[in-house]
Amino acid sequence: MSDVMRWGAFSCALVPFVLIISGASWAGAAGTAAGLAAVTCACRALLRQSERTAARIRVRETGRHRDRRDYLGSAAHGGGRHSEGRTPVD
């Protein structure tokens, strides 16, 4: 994520500079910089939220056993304990 934020900050500085050099007004360049900064901040917030969500999912799945084919827990071994033909009781 840090590389993405660096590129966002770089573009927030570079784009207004290029606009001013190419003849745009200072107000237009400042408005563009403010817009880019707002988009960059929103993207950063969304990236942080998705990283937190992914970390939570990883923590939940860490405690479960996975076999070589990436199946979870007892389902990989036929569904668990069998009790002499009777249906299991929860």
The tens digit of pLDDT for each residue in 13-62 reads 899 999 999 998 999 999 999 999 999 899 889 989 998 998 888 888 77
Question: DSSP code of 79?
Answer: S
Range 68-73 average pLDDT = 57
Q: Does the pLDDT of residue 76 top 60, yes or no? A: no
Q: Does the pLDDT of residue 66 top 80, yes or no? A: no
The pLDDT assigned to 61 comes to: 79
Residue 79 phi, psi (nearest 5): 100, 5
Question: Cα 13 from chain centroid?
Answer: 25
Place of tokens 């573009």: 11
The pLDDT assigned to 2 comes to: 77
Question: Would you state the structure tokens that stand for residue 55, as one six-digit string?
Answer: 């970390």
CA angle 17, 20, 25 (to 5 degrees): 135
